Amino acid sequence: MNAEEFQERKLEVAGWQVNLSSYRLGAEWHAKADNVSPGAALCRTTGATREEAEQKALERAKELLNRTKRHTV
């Protein structure tokens, strides 16, 4: 099974740059949100539609990034 309809975009979530990618495997959509700078995956989600999978990923990423403390240098 191959990934189809791959899409990737950069957004700002809770003051952080986030890379959101989504694709379809069979009938199920997958989405992944990662921190642009180190590229660490924040979350991976699935859904019946692209919008549902991306919305779940963005909600979880926002939840995690809101807990992250910023320190001034």
Q: What is the CATH number of the domain that holds 12?
A: 3.30.67
Please state, in angstroms and rounded to a whole number, the distance separating the CA atoms of residues 67 and 63. 7
Host domain of residue 54:
4-66
The strand ranges marked E within 1-73 are 4-13, 16-25, 28-35, 41-47
Domain assignment present for 45:
yes
Domain assignment present for 20:
yes
Q: What is the pLDDT of residue 36?
A: 83
Domain assignment present for 71:
no
Q: CB within 8 A of 51, min separation 6: which ones? A: none
Query: Does 25 score more than 90 pLDDT?
Result: yes
For the chain, what is the domain count? 1
Distance of CA 70 to the CA centre of its chain: 21
Domain assignment present for 22:
yes
Domain assignment present for 73:
no
Average confidence score pLDDT of the chain? 92
Domain assignment present for 26:
yes
Query: Does 38 score more than 90 pLDDT?
Result: no
